[in-house]
Structure 1
Amino acid sequence: MKAIVNQEGCISCGLCVSTCPEVFAFDEDGVAIANGQMDDANYAVVESARNACPVEVIDIVED
């Protein structure tokens, strides 16, 4: 599984990055990206980041 951020809708609030820095980061433009691999150990935290996103631009999909 992996997380995907719809960068066009991202408002750069940073909730995903602060919730799960192992998977989410900011790119050079200050927009969130998913740069880490999800696994069973961090799935719940990534799901929390997705649920915390105020603009709902994070998806969790199969590889």
Structure 2
Amino acid sequence: MKATVDRDACVGCGLCESVCPNVFEMDSDSIAEVIADVIPPENEDCAIEAQDDCPVSAITVN
């Protein structure tokens, strides 16, 4: 699985980083970025949770 973040849509709330810190982090502009090229199997559930809970639907996991 891989994750992407629509940087134009991200509002920098930090939810994804708090839910799944091994996959997402906030950059110096407070915009989410993906830090895992491939989501480790043990982090797939939290990455999907971050996608589902993102208030602006900026995250895609597939």
Matched residue, 1:53? 54
Q: Which structure 1 residue ranges, 5 or more long, are not aligned? A: none
- Partners of 1:14 and 1:28 lie apart in 2 by 12
Equivalenced residue count is: 61
TM-fit CA distance, 1:39: 2.2
Counting only pairs closer than 5 Å after superposition, residues 29-48 of structure 1 correspond to structure 2 as: 29-36=29-36, 37-48=38-49
Q: Which moved more, 1:33-42 or 1:1-10?
A: 33-42
- Partners of 1:31 and 1:43 lie apart in 2 by 21
RMSD: 0.9
TM-score of the superposed pair, with normalisation by structure 1: 0.89
Q: Which structure 2 residue ranges, 5 or more long, are not aligned? A: none
% identical equivalent positions: 38
TM-score of the superposed pair, with normalisation by structure 2: 0.90
Question: In the TM superposition, what whole-angstrom CA distance separates every residue of 1:4-32 from its partner, at most 9, and x where no partner exists?
Answer: 00000000001000000100001121100
